[in-house]
Amino acid sequence: MSDIGGWHSYFSSPRTRVGKYEIGKLLGEGTFAKVKLAKNKETGESVAIKVIDKEKILKHKMLEQIKREISTMKLVKHPNIVQLLEVMASKTKIYIVMEYATGGELFDKIVHQGRLKEEQSRKYFQQLIDAVDYCHSRGVYHRDLKPENLLLDAAGNLKISDFGLSALPQQLREDGLLHTTCGTPNYVAPEVIVDKGYHGATVDLWSCGVILFVLMAGYLPFDDPNLLNLYRKIYRAEFSCPSWFSSGARKLLFKLLDPNAKTRYTAAQIYKNDWFRKGYKPAQHTEKLNVTLEDINAVFNDSSEFLVMEKKEMKPASMNAFDLISLSSGLDLSGLFEQPQDEERGETRFTSKKSAKEIVNTIEEAARPLGFNVQIQNHKLKLQGDKQGRKGQLSVSTQVFEVAPSLFMVELSKNNGDTIEYNHFCKNLSKGLKDIVWKAEEADTASGN
């Protein structure tokens, strides 16, 4: 929680529901899509959902690229690749539900930490090569490998993401080569720049070499503000290793950042390299069999089987036990709902077993005769006094929280005005709230305990 002891993090707001997923905060945003955190309401699992605007991708003729990205993610199942969980669509949007990597981007780790130690760099590089080699065995070439597209899970394991520029076997021309110029300039291989066709595998391995350099150095091997100068350096492989690189790492880098694609190290050669093999543990995974892409086409064809509706759900903000404890003094919850809760700060709380709507209506009916204007928005009320007090007009905000099914907590807090006048107002207001206020001891008496 970002606001322990305060209430900003608990305020209710419209919650979007797509199928079985409740959509949460924005994780990232691109030209054609937004990535949002979501929760599977059936399992409680957190996922990342890429929300793509259909109209935008059709307008910019990006349909085939999006289809390719989804198809690629479905083809590859590996511990070091972000997993595609499912694909859905509404009339206006496409939803790609993916595994959520809680550790963020590897790029951010480099930015905050600077260069990484050689052992840590090697671990990430081993996981990267495992995942890339697996993709190549499936005929999939990423073509935009860089630290920004490498995520980390909760255990610190690397996960390749963003297959938006990936190539599949059917994109090969008659010469068996790829010809589309793509990728990020600093990470792109010399043969892509020359534009005479290239092998997807050798291009990806060049990018892996650049990534290894960045991990260990904290900066790029090829960099220049002038794009032509940058391409010249890449084409000639003009780079030098910092003094702290070990001889083993240097030798491997010169084999990976070889401008001649025919003599550049292959994955098979990397696996035999002594520096690479140190502490290497192969990834354990099961092969994904009988993969079909029929559902991908169905999603884009508005098939009713995959069609979902976006629903806006309004309900009081919920609180868990930790939230309650954070509001109490120590771990004793016995006085949590006493009224008034904090006379000095101008806060009052009570509990109720009535419905949220009934609570809001009762507060409104009790406040108006006391000379207060009432504004209602969802499960929040703003009570504004119509008279000038010692410190201006008294203003009180009210919020309803769902503590448990059929149990609500109501908090009143002074926004403006005099505290003494606020406490006097609460005493008068409480007379009109007797029917909705609930106390645990009353329930015990009623049950005969």
Residue 312 lies in a domain: no
Q: Which residue has the higher pLDDT, 329 or 278?
A: 278
Beta strands in 228-379 (DSSP E): 310-313, 317-318, 347-352, 372-377
Helix (H) or strand (E) holding 268: helix 267-272
User: Is residue 153 domain-shared with residue 135, that is, in the same domain?
Assistant: yes
Alpha-carbon distance of 173 to 170, in angstroms, equals 8
Q: Which residue has the higher pLDDT, 8 or 137?
A: 137
Residue 81 lies in a domain: yes
- Residues 193-242 pLDDT 10s: 887 777 888 999 999 999 999 999 999 999 999 989 999 999 999 999 99
User: Is residue 159 domain-shared with residue 276, that is, in the same domain?
Assistant: yes
Alpha-carbon distance of 78 to 169, in angstroms, equals 19
> What is the structure's pLDDT at 334?
38
257-263 long-range CB contacts below 8 Å, 24 or more apart? 257/206, 257/209, 257/210, 257/213, 257/221, 259/190, 259/234, 259/235, 261/189, 261/190, 261/191, 261/198, 261/199, 261/202, 261/203, 261/206
Class of residue 19 by CB neighbours under 10 A (exposed 0-12, middle 13-18, buried 19+): buried
User: Is residue 437 domain-shared with residue 341, that is, in the same domain?
Assistant: yes
Binning pLDDT at 50, 70 and 90, where does residue 4 land? very low
Bridge partners, 410 (sequence order): 350, 400
> What is the structure's pLDDT at 237?
94
User: Is residue 113 domain-shared with residue 216, that is, in the same domain?
Assistant: yes
Q: Which residues are catalytic?
A: 144
For residue 74, is pLDDT > 70?
yes
Beta carbons of 265 and 252 less than 8 angstroms apart: yes
Residue 299 lies in a domain: no
Which residue type occupies 182?
C
- Residues 130-182 pLDDT 10s: 999 998 988 888 888 998 889 999 899 999 987 654 444 444 444 444 445 55
Residue 295 lies in a domain: no
Comparing C-alpha atoms, which of 37, 55, 32 is closest to residue 98?
37
Q: How many separate domains does the chain show?
A: 3
> What is the structure's pLDDT at 176?
46
Residue 301 lies in a domain: no
> What is the structure's pLDDT at 366?
92
Of 98-107, 108-117, 249-258, 328-337, the range with the highest mean pLDDT is 249-258
Rounded to two decimals, the pTM is: 0.61
> What is the structure's pLDDT at 216?
96
Q: Which residue has the higher pLDDT, 330 or 393?
A: 393
User: Is residue 273 domain-shared with residue 361, that is, in the same domain?
Assistant: no
- Residues 184-194 pLDDT 10s: 789 998 988 88
- Length of the chain in residues, anyone? 449
Q: Is 50 annotated as a binding residue?
A: yes
Write the DSSP symbol of residue 90. Answer: -
Q: Which residue has the higher pLDDT, 323 or 24?
A: 24
Residue 42 lies in a domain: yes
Q: At what angle do helices 200-217 and 106-113 cross, to 10 degrees?
A: 30
Beta carbons of 378 and 402 less than 8 angstroms apart: no
Write the DSSP symbol of residue 185. Answer: G
User: Is residue 137 domain-shared with residue 257, that is, in the same domain?
Assistant: yes
User: Is residue 185 domain-shared with residue 246, that is, in the same domain?
Assistant: yes
Final residue belonging to a domain, choices 61, 80, 100? 100
Q: Which residue has the higher pLDDT, 92 or 39?
A: 39
Binning pLDDT at 50, 70 and 90, where does residue 333 land? very low
User: In the chain, what's the furthest Cα-to-Cα distance?
Assistant: 88
Q: Which tokens in the block code for residue 237?
A: 């492989």
Alpha-carbon distance of 282 to 276, in angstroms, equals 12
Which residue type occupies 1?
M
Alpha-carbon distance of 259 to 34, in angstroms, equals 37
User: Is residue 247 domain-shared with residue 168, that is, in the same domain?
Assistant: yes
| Least-confidence region, from 23-27, 110-114, 311-315, 333-337 | 333-337
| Least-confidence region, from 27-31, 148-152, 248-252 | 27-31
Beta carbons of 29 and 51 less than 8 angstroms apart: no
User: Is residue 134 domain-shared with residue 33, that is, in the same domain?
Assistant: no
Q: Which tokens in the block code for residue 329?
A: 């003094």
CATH number at 211 reads 1.10.510.10
Comparing C-alpha atoms, which of 413, 284, 265, 443 is closest to residue 349?
413
Strands 347-352 and 407-416: antiparallel
Angle at 397 between CA 393 and CA 402, to 5 degrees: 170
Q: Which residue has the higher pLDDT, 449 or 49?
A: 49
Alpha-carbon distance of 426 to 363, in angstroms, equals 11
Dihedral sign of CA atoms 102, 106, 109, 111 in order: negative
User: Is residue 258 domain-shared with residue 157, that is, in the same domain?
Assistant: yes
258-267 long-range CB contacts below 8 Å, 24 or more apart? 259/190, 259/234, 259/235, 261/189, 261/190, 261/191, 261/198, 261/199, 261/202, 261/203, 261/206, 264/202, 264/205, 264/206, 265/205, 266/201, 266/202, 266/205, 267/129, 267/132, 267/133, 267/136, 267/201, 267/205
Q: Which residue has the higher pLDDT, 270 or 200?
A: 270
Q: Is the peptide bond before 242 cis (omega within 30 degrees of 0)?
A: no
> What is the structure's pLDDT at 320?
59
Share of residues in the chain with pLDDT > 90 (%): 31
Q: Which tokens in the block code for residue 392?
A: 């201006």
Beta carbons of 425 and 339 less than 8 angstroms apart: no
CATH number at 358 reads 3.30.310.80
Q: Which residue has the higher pLDDT, 101 or 378?
A: 101
Cα-based torsion angle of the residue sequence 244, 248, 251, 252 in order, rounded to the nearest 10 degrees: -110
Q: Which domain holds residue 338?
A: 317-446
